[in-house]
Amino acid sequence: FPVTIQDPILSRRISNHKNDYNQFQRGHKRTRLPGLWDSVDKFGWCNHTAILIEQMDTDDRDKGRERESQYIQQYMQKGISLNVKA
């Protein structure tokens, strides 16, 4: 993921993913995001790109995560992986 993410909420979300990944790798976290973390293991963080799909008018983290989950489910239903290197 590039360091120069302009959207502060997206940047914070990516940082959370990285921190969770690092904690899992050290054995401090039990839950994981298998698609993302398997892809990070294979390609590294620097070979991933984050894009903002929708600008939301709220800073509510729960609403943002719910919307993120909806997008992930929509892509999965179409058979599109968000974690495949192009």
Residues 27-66: tens digit of each pLDDT: 888 877 888 888 889 888 888 888 888 888 877 878 888 8
Closest to 49 (Cα-Cα) out of 62, 57, 40: 40
Q: Do residues 48 and 1 touch, judged by C-beta distance below 8 A?
A: yes
27 CA to centre of own chain: 20
Tell me what percent of the residues of the chain surpass a pLDDT of 70. Answer: 88
Measured between alpha carbons, how far is residue 14 from residues 1, 49, 58, 79, 83 in Å?
A: 8, 10, 18, 23, 14
Per-residue pLDDT, 83: 66
Per-residue pLDDT, 6: 61
Q: What does the DSSP assignment read for 20-31?
A: HHHHHHTTS---
* Model confidence, pTM: 0.71
